[in-house]
Amino acid sequence: MFTPLLFLASLISLPQEGASDFTVYDTVDTWSIVRRVDGCFMGATGQGPSPTDVMVFYDVTHPENPVMLLLSNPRWNYREETVAGYRIHFVGADRGTSGLTGLTFSSDGAGVVMIGFNSGAVPLLLTDFARSTAIRLYLNDTLLAEADIRGGQAALRRVMACARTFQGRQVPRYPFEGN
C-alpha cells in the first residue's frame, strides 16, 4: 500500500550516505511514518478514480527549510522542471497558501509535485494541514488534485516525535501538537 510513497521519498536528493535507508517508525490511520537518516516523513496512498498520494517530509538537517510537501498522481505526466503558480487550499482549515513554486517530475508511472517550505511558513502550514480533512492543489487557479488527509494531525504529531529522536537537532514545537 505504501510502496509508491517510499519510492517518492527515496527521490528526495540527499547528500548523506544511507539517506535512502528507511525504518518504519509508526502507522496512524492510513498514514505511514518513516524515519530516514535526515528526517521523518508521513505518507498516505490516495484512493478513488484519480488517486493522489500525499507525503510530508520533515528534514532535521535543514532547519531553515525543514518541510517538503509531495503530491503524486498516476494521471500526471511531468518533465523535470521548476514551476511557479501553485496554490494549496486546506479544506477544514479554510485557508491556504499561494504563490508557491514546485519541482515537477515523473517517476514510477506517476507525476510528482514537490514544494518546499521555509521555517517561517512551517507553523501555519502544519497547523492548517493538521486541522484539515483534505488538501487541494491548484496551478494558476486550475484544480489539479484533491486528496483526503484525515488523520493528518495524529500523523504529524508522530512525525514531530520522530524528528525529535535525532540527537543534537533542535525541532520546534508547533501549535497543533498541544502541550
Q: In whole angstroms, what is the distance from residue 161 CA to residue 148 CA?
A: 23
Q: In whole angstroms, what is the distance from residue 17 CA to residue 146 CA?
A: 35
The backbone torsions φ and ψ at residue 65, rounded to the nearest 5 degrees and listed phi first, read: -140, 70
Q: Which of 8-17, 87-96, 134-143 has the lowest mean pLDDT?
A: 8-17
Query: What is the pLDDT averaged over residues 121-132?
Result: 93
Instruction: Count other C-beta atoms under 10 Å from residue 139's C-beta.
Output: 17
Give 74-122 pLDDT, tens digit per residue: 899 999 999 999 999 999 987 888 999 999 998 878 899 999 999 999 9
Query: What is the pLDDT averaged over residues 44-59?
Result: 87
Which residues have C-beta within 8 Å of that of residue 159, sequence separation ≥ 6?
Answer: 33, 40, 41, 42, 56, 58
User: Alpha helix locations (H) across 17-146?
Assistant: 122-131
Instruction: Count other C-beta atoms under 10 Å from residue 96's C-beta.
Output: 18
Q: What angle do CA 140, 151, 7 make, to 5 degrees?
A: 65
The backbone torsions φ and ψ at residue 21, rounded to the nearest 5 degrees and listed phi first, read: -80, 130
Domain tally, the chain: 1
Nearest CA-CA partner of 156 in 169, 170, 173:
173
Query: What is the pLDDT averaged over residues 27-39?
Result: 92
Whole-number mean pLDDT of the chain? 86
Query: What is the pLDDT averaged over residues 137-163?
Result: 94
Q: Give residue for cell 517510499.
A: 6
Confidence of residue 174 (pLDDT cuts 50, 70, 90): confident
pLDDT of residue 10: 52
Predicted structure pTM score: 0.87
User: Residue 44: pLDDT above 80?
Assistant: yes
Residue 145: all three cell numbers together: 488534485
Query: What is the pLDDT averaged over residues 23-39?
Result: 91
Instruction: Count other C-beta atoms under 10 Å from residue 137's C-beta.
Output: 24
pLDDT of residue 42: 94
> Percentage of the chain surpassing pLDDT 70?
87
Q: Which helix (H) or strand (E) holds 7?
A: helix 3-11
pLDDT of residue 94: 77
Structural domain boundaries, residue 138 = 3-177
User: Residue 59: pLDDT above 90?
Assistant: yes
Q: Which helix (H) or strand (E) holds 82?
A: strand 81-91
Query: What is the pLDDT averaged over residues 34-63?
Result: 89
* 170 vs 59 pLDDT, higher one: 59
- Residue 15 DSSP SS3: coil
